[in-house]
Amino acid sequence: MNKILLLGSFLGLALMNAQTTTNVYSYGFDTAFGTDWAVTNQSDPSTASTWTKATYAVPLANPLFGSGNTTTVPPGQSGGANSFALVNYTSTTGAGTISNWLLTPSVNVKNGDIISFYTRKGTDGTQDFADRLELRYSTAATSVTPSGGAAGVGSFTNVGVTVNPNLATGFVYPKTWTKYSFTVSGVGTTPVPVKFAFRYFVTSGGPTGTNSDLIGIDTFSVDRPDSSLGTNEITSGTKPVSVYPNPAVDYISIKTDEKINAVEIFDVTGRKVPVALEGNRINVRDLNAGTYIISFETKAGKVSEKFIKK
């Protein structure tokens, strides 16, 4: 149910899509956290509230996590009802700074491994109180658990992915289960122990704060690419696939001898953005200016390419 990726940037998406992988570690939150997982609430001020596995029972007070009603136990991204972890605004009191951590066990990873997870907001309603989530990691020989309040990160100084880094409203933090990922780099070609940490990090959070609500995570996975195939192109027959123009303004064209079966585009946070495939062209004129990853599939396989929208 789960897979993992590491550091770097959105290029992790390219690597995962372009190559087959072997799962190194996975965790689906189908049962209570194992003893090798840890939680710590370093919010300012902090409460006893920490990350927990979902244990909802009907009737619900309100529809949440996609239940759609008060008589259905909310489902995870995979694994069925209550198969996800969650944390919420009660991590602090009043209007404080939330810094609530969920730490994984050590996983042996190396450069090129891919870390991924799914997340969503819990609310099924229309009002959005901004949430933010970081996936950090520690390469220290002996990891140091965050302490000392909301500013402390311990040895988890590396940030792989941040969901809604600017605490924007309007459901920039998605209301549906959405996949985020990144690729490990800087740890070497021989696997070494690395710990990951989900940090619910929200300023002006809490019961009377401007921000913070309820979020969940699911399907955490670490995967290792099997193929040496590059991320910028694959071979279709004897000819490579190409993407142009780059940078693009209105359309991106894909040159290939194969039929394109599916296209996805991801922004720099790893969030999928909607686009329209028109033959072998993709309409990108509605995208904001910036850097993206385009991933498309033919019968020959999948290919991912970085491009710039002007």
Domain boundary among 181, 207, 225: 225
Query: What are all long-range contacts of 289-294, with beta carbons under 8 Å and residues at least 24 apart?
Result: 291/10, 292/10, 292/265, 292/266, 292/267, 292/268, 293/10, 293/11, 293/13, 293/14, 293/265, 293/266, 294/243, 294/252, 294/263, 294/264, 294/265
Which CATH number fits the domain that encloses residue 55? 2.60.120.200
Q: Please indicate, yes or no, whether residues 195 and 267 belong to a single structural domain of this protein.
A: no
Q: Please indicate, yes or no, whether residues 269 and 197 belong to a single structural domain of this protein.
A: no
Any domain includes 103: yes
Any domain includes 230: no
Q: Please indicate, yes or no, whether residues 172 and 244 belong to a single structural domain of this protein.
A: no
Domain boundary among 198, 225, 252: 225
Q: Please indicate, yes or no, whether residues 215 and 257 belong to a single structural domain of this protein.
A: no
Residue 301 has a pLDDT of 64
User: Number of folded domains in the chain?
Assistant: 2
Q: Whole domain around residue 213: which residue ranges?
A: 3-225
Tens digit of each residue's pLDDT (9 = 90 or more) over 27-64: 999 999 999 999 999 999 999 999 999 999 999 999 99
Q: Please indicate, yes or no, whether residues 109 and 53 belong to a single structural domain of this protein.
A: yes
Tens digit of each residue's pLDDT (9 = 90 or more) over 54-90: 999 999 999 999 999 999 999 999 989 999 999 999 9
| pTM for this entry | 0.70
Domain boundary among 189, 205, 225: 225
Q: Please indicate, yes or no, whether residues 300 and 195 belong to a single structural domain of this protein.
A: no
